[in-house]
Amino acid sequence: MDILSILVLHGPNLNLLGTREPDTYGVQTLNDINRLLEAEAQKLAVRLSCLQSNHEGVLVDAIHGAMGQQQGILINPGAYTHTSVALRDAIAAVNLPVVEVHLSNVYKREAFRHHSYIAPVAVGQISGFGADSYLLGLQGLIRYLRQSNS
Ligand code: DQA
């Protein structure tokens, strides 16, 4: 079987991790998280491609670009989780398995964070485990892909 390729997308303001509201999002930087994911990907023998953007259209383009290149998407859509019909439609359009992750437990926070436009088009969602949300999300996505391919 060919090696699995996964696209990792980080949405707006996640470039500021490490200094951004550390009580809520932790002290790890985005580079730290990408390094953790790379190490896990090596263990699980998958290829990762990571991108962060503060721009909705760039994220939409990246989702389109995954078609035919990657087999699944791990995404922390940041605030676009709660606002973006465009991201949701892009995910529905490419028809690739997506796992949504959040560092914080969005359901413990303000009411406007309780709704996700992404969740109904995702395989699943992990929220509240800090950087481990990404690791758990990656593991879940890979298991899902390997089960659906067997
Ligand atoms: C977040 C939660 C969102 O509500 C927020 O807008 C973010 C980060 C998280 O990882 O906990 O930017 O996605």
User: What whole-number percentage of the chain has pLDDT above 90?
Assistant: 97
Rounded to an integer, what distance in angstroms lies between the CA atom of residue 78 and that of residue 84? 10
User: 96 CA to middle of ligand 1, Å?
Assistant: 22
Averaged pLDDT, 106-110: 98
pLDDT tens per residue across span 75-96: 999 999 999 999 999 999 999 9
On the 0-12 / 13-18 / 19+ scale of CB atoms within 10 A, 68 is exposed
Q: pTM value? A: 0.97
Query: Which residue ranges form the domains of the chain, and what is each CATH number?
Result: 4-148 (3.40.50.9100)
Distance 115 CA to ligand 1 centre (A): 12
CA nearest to 9, candidates 37, 51, 39, 40:
51
